[in-house]
Amino acid sequence: MYPPSEIGLGCVTFGREIDKIQSFAMMDYALEHGVSLFDTASAYHNGASETIVGEWLASRRPINGQIIVATKIGSPYVFDRINESIDQSLKRLRVDRIDLLYLHSWDDSVLTQDTLFTLDRIVKQGKIHKIGASNFSEDQLRDALAIQQYNGLSSFEYVQNNHNIAVSDLSKEFMQLCQNNNIDIITYSPLGAGFLTGKYDSGLVTGSRFDIIPGHQKIYFNEQAFRKLEMLKEISRSTGHNMAHLSLAWALHQPGIKSVLIGGRNITHLEQAFAAKQFYDQEIFADLNRVTRWIL
């Protein structure tokens, strides 16, 4: 498996907020512009996203190794459910092997013998190439790695966590743990699902991500996140760069990050990311780091 591109395509909107034709257009554009990581999950609209990605793969037939397809399975992580979930994902994606499989979120079952030993067997069977952990804390990741290493099991090689100017599930200690164990970090939601664009200044928007997934509200609708948003607005006003551009640029230039997932409803969102990747202003980034208390 080749290393993932610095910008990855998040496919969470596929089949939920955009249809098959729009999703195909997003994937076509991504492929044409060098994006090699497509990220989906079995939970995304009950498998609709995986199904659309699978139909695109079957239609476009990218060169072997040109695209890394990552997907995720949900908890509880017990033997029968793990095997069934992986087989269903393989069927929906129309592939013989999943390039990168994440456990979608932490569950206490991760530390039972079923989970990590079962994943190891499936890797050795050839159904999975690499495994990863999504939305784990530092302690949770450390505990899982200890079991894998003690028993000589296939180890997590990727983690995927939320990371943006307003909210981050990455700490210096978490990143050091990853570095010590040769784990690559993938981040998602650089715009905070629209929060960092000022989309919710007047409250909840009907049909928006926060409306479709109410869980986002408790993550971002809090005093600390709103304070950071106001500071971002001030930097935007003083520099003349819009908040989305600044937020994307900051996320795409973070040290120690392998790839940043960019989702959306049309190719404009990918175009914004490509433009932001080309932008770097040391003074502006210093101001943004003061907002986040994140030191480059």
Structure tokens at 22: 């729009």
Mean pLDDT throughout 50-76? 95
The pLDDT value recorded for residue 217 is: 82
Q: Directed axis angle between helix 243-252 and helix 282-292, to 10°? A: 90
pLDDT confidence band for 108 (50 / 70 / 90): very high
> Domains along the chain?
7-194+245-288 (3.20.20.100)
Residue 21 CA to residue 15 CA, distance in Å, equals 10
pLDDT confidence band for 202 (50 / 70 / 90): low
Contact by Cβ (8 Å): 80, 109: no
**Could you give phi then psi for residue 220, rounded to 5 degrees?**
-110, -25
Mean pLDDT throughout 78-98? 97
Three-state SS at 13: coil
Query: Which range is least confidently modeled, 110-119, 152-161, 202-211, 285-294?
Result: 202-211
Give 243-269 pLDDT, tens digit per residue: 999 999 999 999 999 999 999 999 999
pLDDT confidence band for 215 (50 / 70 / 90): confident
The pLDDT value recorded for residue 295 is: 37
Q: What is the pTM of this model?
A: 0.94
